[in-house]
């Protein structure tokens, strides 16, 4: 096992009716900016619950944060917050609203000219406003992690950052808020959760039996709960289990002492930036191809994954192949597509995608995925 530091001070308030606790979690003296997306929260009653819980608090709102939150939009929120002297941000929505709000929290106190520089590491992150979160979509794990992923249409970028100052002070997770999710977002969320786990787990063995079993527990829970949520979207415990899986998948616990491989996510972000496909959709297309390409290097863990997660038996090579097929079948069972041609992504663009990523370093747990390998993976995902 490798050395690691684990510190996750995010307060999670989980369960039915927990939005009412907002009043206790936000200081009465705070000047709050409530941020949200395209308006779903107003249709599903979450906005009204937040409003009731914030009685007596000085708050304003900023809506319109889009899926794959856009820098330009967020900078409008930054202006509003600066002009109105806000000192606390409350994100109400899915991962995009929360990630966008995380970015706003560091951009508001930033005194330099271009806040995008914070995303590129050109200037240090020195200050941030505190953030709270009311989550309405189980997927990203952003509610309990240090990450924020922001898009910039102007330059075709979709960029992730990680920083301690991006940890929310608290996140309220009421599974009932997720009843209204359309099946596409439910499936995207399950795939995203799955991918966060496997990208920390399915690399090379480092003698981390506890972390391996923690990862396998999340995967097996997803296998069990996924068909139930598709069959009955209003089953509370199923929603609760999926929400908790998503949070546990990507809060730093599973990566303790291990070595990750985030190649599927990194290539996936480029597909979203270039063609606008959902984050979860990009992952479902790429992951089977990444596994096929990296099968030899990942063999030991791939066989363990096949045997323990899917209960496969037989010779290693056979188990590894079946494990990849089972993964793809699971994605199909969620209604996800697993080929680039399903999204009309032209083969002529593969080189361009690879060249966008290559200057940012090699991918994979062995740093063995460069431009050439990315093109090979895209070909395997073609159709």
**Which residues contact ligand NZQ by CB under 6 A?**
37-40, 44, 67-68, 93-97, 99, 136-137, 139-142, 145, 147-149, 177-178, 180-181, 185, 188-189, 192, 250, 265, 279
Which of Zn ion, ligand NZQ, none interacts with 327 (beta carbon under 5 to 8 A by kind)?
Answer: none
Yes or no: say if 245 and 138 are a contact pair by the CB < 8 Å rule. Answer: yes
Residue 298 to residue 161: CA distance in whole angstroms = 27
For 299-317, the DSSP string reads HHHHHHHHHHHH---S-HH
Buried b (16+ CB within 10 A) or exposed e, 255-287: bbebebbbbbbbbbbbbbbebebbbbbbbbbbb
107 binds, among ligand NZQ, Zn ion, none (CB under 5 to 8 A by kind): none
For residue 17, the minimal CB distance to ligand NZQ (Å) is 16
Looking at the Cβ atoms of 212 and 270, the one nearer to ligand NZQ is: 270
Burial classification of residue 209, based on how many CB atoms lie within 10 Å of its CB (0-12 exposed, 13-18 middle, 19 or more buried): exposed
The minimum distance between CB 3 and ligand NZQ, in angstroms, equals 23
* Region of residue 98 (left: phi > 0; alpha: psi -120 to 50; beta: else): alpha
C-alpha span between 41 and 251 (Å, rounded): 25
Q: Which of ligand NZQ, Zn ion, none does residue 321 bind (CB under 5 to 8 Å by kind)?
A: none
Gap between the Cα atoms of 250 and 144, Å rounded = 8
Closest distance of CB 151 from ligand NZQ, Å: 7
Q: What is the DSSP letter of 166?
A: G
Supply the minimum distance, in Å, between the C-beta of residue 68 and Zn ion.
Answer: 12
CB nearer ligand NZQ, residue 291 or residue 312:
291
CB of 105 to ligand NZQ, least distance (A): 13
- Cβ atoms of 101 and 72 closer than 8 Å: no
Closest residue to Zn ion using C-beta atoms: 192
- Toward Zn ion, which CB reaches closer, 192 or 225? 192
Rank residues 86 and 265 by Cβ distance to ligand NZQ and give the closer one.
265
Nearer to ligand NZQ, 250 or 350 (CB): 250
* The entry of ligand NZQ, Zn ion, none that residue 282 binds, CB within 5 to 8 Å by partner kind: none
As measured in angstroms, the least distance from the Cβ of 160 to Zn ion is 9
From the list ligand NZQ, Zn ion, none, pick the one residue 44 interacts with, judged by a Cβ distance below 5 to 8 Å according to partner type: ligand NZQ
Residue 158, CA atoms < 13 Å, CB-side half-sphere = 21
Residue pointed to by tokens 């009412």: 20
Q: What residues make contact with Zn ion under the rule CB under 5 A?
A: 192
């Amino acid at each position: 096992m490798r050395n690691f530091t684990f510190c996750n001070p995010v307060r999670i308030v989980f369960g039915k009716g927990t939005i009412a606790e907002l009043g206790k979690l936000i200081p009465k003296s705070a000047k709050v900016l409530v941020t949200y997306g395209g308006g779903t929260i107003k249709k599903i009653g979450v906005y009204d619950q937040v409003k009731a819980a914030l009685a007596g608090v000085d708050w304003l709102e900023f809506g319109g944060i889009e899926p794959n939150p856009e820098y330009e939009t967020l900078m409008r929120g930054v202006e509003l917050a600066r002009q109105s002297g806000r000192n606390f941000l409350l994100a109400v929505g899915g991962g995009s609203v929360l990630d966008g709000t995380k970015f706003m929290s560091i951009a508001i106190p930033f005194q330099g000219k271009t806040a995008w520089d914070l995303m590129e590491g050109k200037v240090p992150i020195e200050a941030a406003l505190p953030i709270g979160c009311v989550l309405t979509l189980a997927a990203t794990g952003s509610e309990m992690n240090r990450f924020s992923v922001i898009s910039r249409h102007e330059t075709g970028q979709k960029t992730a950052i990680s920083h301690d100052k991006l940890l929310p002070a608290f996140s309220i997770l009421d599974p009932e808020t997720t009843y209204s999710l359309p099946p596409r977002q439910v499936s995207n969320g399950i795939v995203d959760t799955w991918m966060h786990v496997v990208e920390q787990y399915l690399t090379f063995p480092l003698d981390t039996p506890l972390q391996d079993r923690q990862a396998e527990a999340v995967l097996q829970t997803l296998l069990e709960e996924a068909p139930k949520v598709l069959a009955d979207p209003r089953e509370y415990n199923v929603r609760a289990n999926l929400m908790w899986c998503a949070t546990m998948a990507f809060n730093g616990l599973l990566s303790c002492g291990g070595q990750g491989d985030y190649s599927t996510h990194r290539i996936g972000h480029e597909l979203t930036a270039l063609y606008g496909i959902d984050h979860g959709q990009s992952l479902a297309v790429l992951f089977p191809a990444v596994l096929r390409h990296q099968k030899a290097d990942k063999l030991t863990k791939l066989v363990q994954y096949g045997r323990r997660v899917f209960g496969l038996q037989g010779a290693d090579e056979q188990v590894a192949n079946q494990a990849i097929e089972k993964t793809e079948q699971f994605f199909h069972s969620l209604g996800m597509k697993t080929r680039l041609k399903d999204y009309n992504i032209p083969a002529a663009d593969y080189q361009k995608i690879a060249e966008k990523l290559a200057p940012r370093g090699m991918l994979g747990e062995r740093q063995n995925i460069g431009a050439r390998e990315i093109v090979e993976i895209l070909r395997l995902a073609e159709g």
